[in-house]
Chains A and B, each alone.
Chain A
Amino acid sequence: MKTPVLIAIAVVVALLAFGLYQGLVVAPTEQTMGDVQRIFYYHVPSAWTCFILFFINFVASIWYLFTRTSKADAIAVTMAEVGVVFWSVVIITGPLWARPVWGIWWTWDARLTSTLVLGLIYVSYLILRRFATGGQTPILAAALAVFGFADVPFVYLSIWYFRTQHPQPVIGGGGSLHPAMWHALLYNWLAFSALAALLCWFRYQLERKQRDVEETLALESLLEGSPK
C-alpha cells in the first residue's frame, strides 16, 4: 500500500481512538440513563454521516444524469453502499440504547420510523443496481436516486404528522447537552466522517478498477474476434 493511504488509515484510527476516549472517559456520565447513554457518541455521528452520504449520492446521481460520466456513477454507488453501512450502525445501536432506557427495543416513533424508511429506499436502490442488467444500470439507478430524494420530505412530513398526533414515548436527552458531551459528540462525528471518507475512497477505487477490468475484458474479446 502507498504511504499516503497508510497515513490516512493511521489518522482515522487515531481519531477513532481519541473519540472513543472522549466518549468513554472524558464525557460525564448521564444522570438518569447512566453509562448506557455513551452509545449516543456512536449512534448520532453515524446518523449524521449516513445522511450526508445519501445526500452526496443524490448530487452524484443528478451529476450523472446531466453529464453521463462514469465517475459520477461510481461516486453514487459508493455513497449509497457506505451510507447503508452507517445506516445499519444507526439502526443496530438504536435498539441497543432504547432497550435499557425506554424498556423496549423499538418504537414506531417519528424519527425512528422515518430513518428506517429512508434506509429502505437506499437498500432498494442497491438491490436495483444488483439486478439491473447491462449498461443501463447507472441511468436506472440515478433515476431511482432522484425519486428517493424527492421522497425524503414526504417521508418526514407524513410520519411526523402521523406520530405526533399520538402520545409519544419520552425521547432520551432532549434539553441541553453538557459541553463535555458536545465535545465528545463532535470529536466522534469528525472521526466517523473521516472513517466514512476513507471507506468511500477504497470503495471508489475498487469500483473504478472493476470498471477498468470489465472494459479491458470487453475490448480484448472484441480484438480476439476481429481478425477472423
Chain B
Amino acid sequence: MSATPSVTPSAAPDQTSSAVHAAREPVLRPESRAPHVLFATLMKDLRLEWRSKDAINSMLFFALLVVVVFSFSFDPTGDDARRIAGGLIWVAFLFAAVVALGQTWAREIRNQVLDAYRVSTAPANDLFLAKALGNFLFVSVLEVVMTPLFVVFYNLRVLGPAYLLPVIAVLGTWALVVNGTFFAAISLRTRSREVMLPLILFPISIPALLGMVEATKIILTGESSAKFWIVLLAVYDLVFTTVCLSLFETVLDAE
C-alpha cells in the first residue's frame, strides 16, 4: 500500500487539497456558483427584452386581439360574462404566452450560444430556471396590463375573495411557463418548431388550465370555495417543476 502515492503522484495531492478545500470553504464549490449563472442569464434576457421588447409587444397585441375576437363570439355584457370570463382570460394568456415561449430559445441558436452553454460547466438547471423565470416575468407583466382591460371590456365585478386572484395568477402562470419553457426546448429540435410547441404543451396543460379557469370563475362568481383548485395548481407546479429540473439536462445534451 505504501507504493500507491508514488504510482499516482499527481492525483493524491490534488485529492487531499480539494478535500481540505471542500471542508474549509464549502461556499466555493461549483454548485454555489449556481445563482450567479442563473442571475446572469436572467438579467441578460431581461436586458435583451428591455431593448427589443419583441416578446412583450407581440404578446400584448396578441392578447388584445384575442379579447376583441372573443367579444364577437360571446356576449360580453350579459350576466354570463362572469362565468365565462375566467376561461376567456386564461385562454388569452395561454395563447399569448406561447408567443413568448416560442422565442425563449430561438435567440440562443444564433451564434451557437446554446452549444456554448452545453460545453460550459454552468449547471443546465440554472439556465432552465433563468429562462423559466424570465418567461414568468414577461407573462406576469402581460397579465398585469391585460387584466384591467378585461375588467373594463367585460364589465367584471369580483363577488368572491379577490385577494386569492393573485395567488391563482402566480400558480397558474408558473404552471404554464415551466412546462412551456421545457417544451420550447424540446420543440427547438423539431421541424416547424413554432407549430410543435402548442401541440405538445396544450394536452399536458389541460389540468392546469382547468384549475386556473375554474378557480377564477369560482372567485368571480363567489359561488363556492376555490381551495381544491388552488391546491391542485400548487401540486401541479411542484410535480412538473421537479420533472422539468430532473430532465432538462438530458434534453439539453440530447444529440
Measured CB to CB, the residues of A under 8 A from B are 65, 117, 120-121, 123-125, 127-128, 131-136, 139-140, 143-144, 146-148, 150-151, 154-155, 157-159, 161-162
Contacts and interface: CB of A to CB of B under 8 A. Distances in A.
Contact of A124 (B199, B232, B235, B243): B199
Nearest to A138: B254
Contacts of A134: 189
B123 interface: no
Which of the listed residues A120, A125, A131 has the most CB atoms from chain B within 10 Å of its own CB?
A131
A162 B203 CA distance: 17
Contacts of B251: 139-140, 143
Interface SS, A side: helix
B236 interface: yes
B243 A157 contact: no
A155 B206 contact: yes
B87 interface: no
A120 B247 CA distance: 22
A117 B203 contact: yes
Interface stretch (B124-132, B141-149, B190-198): B190-198
Contact of A139 (B192, B235, B254): B254
B240 interface: yes
Interface string B104-145: 000000000000000000000000000000000000000000
B188 to A, nearest CB: 10
Contact of A127 (B199, B207, B228): B199
Contact of B254 (A140, A144, A148, A159): A140
Nearest to B244: A147
B179 interface: yes
A157 B232 contact: yes
A151 B189 contact: no
Contact of A162 (B192, B210, B243): B210
B19 interface: no
B250 A144 contact: no
B206 A117 contact: yes
Given A133-B191, A147-B179, A139 B250 contact: yes
B254 A161 contact: no
A65 B247 CA distance: 9
B76 interface: no
A112 B102 CA distance: 32
B200 interface: yes
A125 B186 CA distance: 12
B250 A158 contact: no
Given A154-B235, A162-B210, 20 more contacts: A117-B203, A121-B203, A124-B199, A124-B200, A128-B186, A128-B190, A131-B190, A131-B191, A131-B192, A131-B196, A132-B190, A139-B251, A140-B254, A143-B251, A144-B200, A154-B208, A158-B206, A158-B207, A161-B228, A161-B232
B255 interface: yes
A148 B202 CA distance: 11
B211 to A, nearest CB: 6
B40 interface: no
A150 B186 contact: no
